[in-house]
Structure 1
Amino acid sequence: MASFYFSKSQPLRWGIIGCGSVTEVKSGPAYRLTEGFEITAVMCRHLEKAADYAERHKVPLFTSDASEVIDNPDIDAVYIATPPDTHKFYGLKVAEAGKPCCIEKPMAPSYADSLEIFNAFQEKDLPFFIAYYRRSLPRFLKVKEWLDEGAIGELRHVHWVKTRTASLLDKSEKYNWRTDAKIAPAGYFDDLASHGLDLFTFLLGDIKEATGVSSNQQGLYSALDTVAGSWIHKNGITGSGSWNFGSYQPLDKVKIIGAKGEIHFSVLHEEPIQLLSETRKESVFIEHPKHLHQFHVANMKKHLLGEMIHPSTGATGLHTSWVMDKILGNLV
C-alpha cells in the first residue's frame, strides 16, 4: 500500500491535464462527484478551450501551461487525460513534483516509455493509477465472480474478436490522433484493444508470453489497422484475439471457455453477460454508470485512504503495455 494518504476532513484537490472528450462525461465529472475529491484546475494547450471547460464544469482555475497545474502547491494530485504520446512527458513531471497521478490508458505508446514512467513513481513511492476503469465496473466484476466461483469449471481459453468499420473521420481531412502513427502507432489497437487485454489479465491472471502479427490493410492512415495475437497466461490459460478496424460491421465478442461451460460478453459494447454451463444458463445486463470512471475514481479514494489496493495501478498498466508490445512484435 502506498504511503500517501489524504485527510477525510480536507478535500483532495485534483488538476486535470487535457480537457478532451474523455473528460466531458466519462471521467471528469467522476472526480467532482466523488465525496472528498474536487477539481481545482484544468489545463489545455488552447487557453480558450480550457476556459470553456472550466466555466461549464465549474472548475476554479484554468491555464494553457501544464506547470501551473503540476507545480501548483494548491493541487494535490494530477489526472493526465491527453493522447498517449504526451503521457511520458507529463507523467515524469508529476512524479518529479511528488504528487499522486492517474494517467489515461494506454499508459504510453510503448513498453519502454511505460517502464520509465512506472520507475519514476516507484522511486518516490507515489500512488500511481492507470485509467483502465473496466476493472472497477460492476458488469465485469460479475464476470470475475462467476470465474472465481468456478461456474464454468477449470478455465481453458479466452478469445476476443473486435472489429469496426472505417469511419468517415478516418477518411476525412479532420485530424484523429487514433490513426496517427506518431501518437498511436497501432491505431485503434492502442486505444481499444488495450482495454480488453488489461481486463483479461484482471480476470484470468498475468500473461507470460504473447505474440502476433499486424499490418495496415486499408492505407487510409499511417497507423496500423489490423492486429491478430495469441498469448498464454501464467496459469496455463491460453488466449487469442483479432482486431480489425476496416471490417463491414462493428463486432465485439469475448468467449471464455472452461471445462464445464462458457462465459460470453463484450468489452466495449453494451451487451448482456452470459453464462452457459452444464447446469446453468444465465444472461445478465448490468448497466454502466453515466460517468464510466465513477467506480474507478471511488476506488482511488479508498486506495489513498488505505482502505484497499486499487485494481488498476502503474504495475498492472505496465504489464498491459508489455503484452501489447509483445503482440505487436516490438519486444523480443
Structure 2
Amino acid sequence: MDNLKPLRWGIIGCGNVTEVKSGPPYKNTKGFELSMVMRRNAEKAADYAKRHQVPFWTTNASKVIENPKIDAVYIATPPDTHKLYGLLVAAAGKPCCIEKPMAPCYADSLEIYNAFQKNGIPLFIAYYRRSLPRFNKVKEWLDKGLIGDVRHIRWYKSRTPSELDLSGTYNWRTDAKIAPAGYFDDLASHGLDLFTYLLGNIKDAKGFAVNQQGLYSAKDAVTGSWLHENGITGEGSWIFGANEQQDKVEIFGSKGEIRFSVLNELPIELISPKLKESLIIEHPKHLHRYHVENIQKHLSGIAQHPSTGATGLHTSWVMDKILGN
C-alpha cells in the first residue's frame, strides 16, 4: 500500500453494525479514508453519509465495487449476500473485509476464499476479537504457560428469548434461509474463531442442532465437541431459549485454569496455585478499531493480520461440522 496515498474504502451495507462498532475505524485509521457507503434504502444511505461525513453514497453495490475511486471494500450485509458481493470484489481485484460469519455454510466460504486466492487479493474476516487487548491478554497467559499444558476448553452460552423472538417479528438472524443456525451463526462463530486463535486449529468436530421453541425457522439450541490438532479437547453448548443469560468460558490446564466471557465484558481470571489474577480490560468505543488498524498494518507489510480468509474459512468448517453439515 502506498503510504502517501490514503486507501479509499467503500462499505456495502451501512446498517446498525457500522454506526459505532465497525464503520468509524475505516475513517479514523491512519492511511485509510471512508469514501463511499451503500444501502438499499436511499434515504438511510444518504442520512448515514451525511452524519458520518462520507463523500458519496449509493443504493447499488456494484457502484461501490466497480468504482475506480474505491480501493477496498468492507461487506457488512447479512451472511446470505457475502458470497455474491465477495465474488464481485474478488473479480474487481480489491482488498476486502467481510463481516462474520464468512458465509452461511463452508461451501460458500470456500468459494469466496478460492476467488481471492486465485487473484492474489487480501481477504479479511471481521472476527475482531483476535485483535482486542482483552483476548490477547488471555493468549499471553496461555503462551507463557501460566496454567501449564492446556487440556480442555468449555463454553456455555445461554440467553432468554428476546421480545423480537416472542413477538414473531421478522429478524434475519433467525431466518434459516440467511442464518441456518440462528444466533449460533451470529454469536457462537465469535467464540469458535477465538478458540482456534488461542489454542490452535481444530482437526475434528461434531454436534447436534435442534429447534426447541418453535419461535422461528432457524435452530435455537446447539451442542458440540471438538478436538484441536494439538490434542486439546473442547465442548460447547449454546441455548437461546433458557431462563437466564450466561456466557462462561473455562480453559483447564495441568496447573490451573483461565475463565472469561466471549461476548460480555466481565473480568478475565487466571487461577493457579502460584498465581491468581483478575483483570478488567475494557473494549474500545469502536470495537473494530484494532481489527481495522491491523488491516492497515497488513496491507502496509508491517504485520500479518490475525483474521484472514484462511482463518475465517477454518471457522466456517468447524461450524459446519458441529451443525452436522
Of the structure 1 ranges 132-141 and 167-176, higher mean CA displacement relative to structure 2 is found in: 167-176
Q: Which of 265, 269, 286 pairs up with 1:270?
A: 265
Say which SS state the counterpart of residue 24 (structure 2) adopts. Answer: helix
- Say yes or no: does 1:49 pair with 2:58: no
Q: What is the one-letter code of the residue matched to 2:267?
A: P
Q: Which of 182, 188, 212 pairs up with 2:183?
A: 188
Following superposition, the deviation at residue 8 of structure 1 comes to 1.1
- Say yes or no: does 1:114 pair with 2:109: yes
Give distance in 1, aligned partners of 2:279 and 2:241.
30
- Say yes or no: does 1:21 pair with 2:16: yes
Following superposition, the deviation at residue 7 of structure 1 comes to 1.1
Give distance in 2, aligned partners of 1:92 and 1:48.
27
Alignment match, 1:202: 197
Following superposition, the deviation at residue 20 of structure 1 comes to 1.1
1:1-332 matched pairs, under 5 angstroms? 6-330=1-325
Give distance in 2, aligned partners of 1:147 and 1:173.
43
TM-score scaled by length of structure 2: 0.99
Following superposition, the deviation at residue 172 of structure 1 comes to 2.0
Of the structure 1 ranges 6-15 and 200-209, higher mean CA displacement relative to structure 2 is found in: 6-15
Give distance in 1, aligned partners of 2:129 and 2:204.
23
Following superposition, the deviation at residue 175 of structure 1 comes to 2.1
Give distance in 1, aligned partners of 2:63 and 2:274.
59
**RMSD of the alignment, in Å?**
0.5
Give distance in 1, aligned partners of 2:168 and 2:244.
23
Give distance in 1, aligned partners of 2:211 and 2:127.
26
Following superposition, the deviation at residue 254 of structure 1 comes to 0.1
Deviations 1:236-275 (A, max 9, x none): 0000000000011110000000000000000001100000
Q: 2:208·2:224 contact (CA, 8 Å) conserved in 1? A: yes
Give distance in 1, aligned partners of 2:204 and 2:169.
38
Following superposition, the deviation at residue 173 of structure 1 comes to 4.2
Give distance in 2, aligned partners of 1:93 and 1:142.
37
Q: What is the one-letter code of the residue matched to 1:304?
A: L
Q: 2:125·2:312 contact (CA, 8 Å) conserved in 1? A: yes
Following superposition, the deviation at residue 174 of structure 1 comes to 3.0
Give distance in 1, aligned partners of 2:131 and 2:240.
27
Say which SS state the counterpart of residue 82 (structure 2) adopts. Answer: helix
Give distance in 1, aligned partners of 2:66 and 2:25.
23
Deviations 1:190-219 (A, max 9, x none): 000000000000000000000000100000
Say which SS state the counterpart of residue 319 (structure 2) adopts. Answer: helix
Give distance in 2, aligned partners of 1:174 and 1:20.
18
Give distance in 2, aligned partners of 1:232 and 1:224.
23
Give distance in 1, aligned partners of 2:160 and 2:71.
42
Tell me how many residue pairs correspond in the alignment.
325
Give distance in 1, aligned partners of 2:260 and 2:80.
31
Give distance in 2, aligned partners of 1:243 and 1:197.
12
Give distance in 2, aligned partners of 1:143 and 1:46.
41
Say which SS state the counterpart of residue 210 (structure 1) adopts. Answer: strand
Q: What is the one-letter code of the residue matched to 1:269?
A: N
Give distance in 2, aligned partners of 1:251 and 1:36.
40
Give distance in 1, aligned partners of 2:165 and 2:11.
28
Say which SS state the counterpart of residue 35 (structure 1) adopts. Answer: coil
Say which SS state the counterpart of residue 152 (structure 1) adopts. Answer: coil
Percent identity of paired positions between Structure 1 and Structure 2: 72
Say which SS state the counterpart of residue 171 (structure 1) adopts. Answer: helix
Unaligned regions of 5+ residues in structure 2, if any?
none
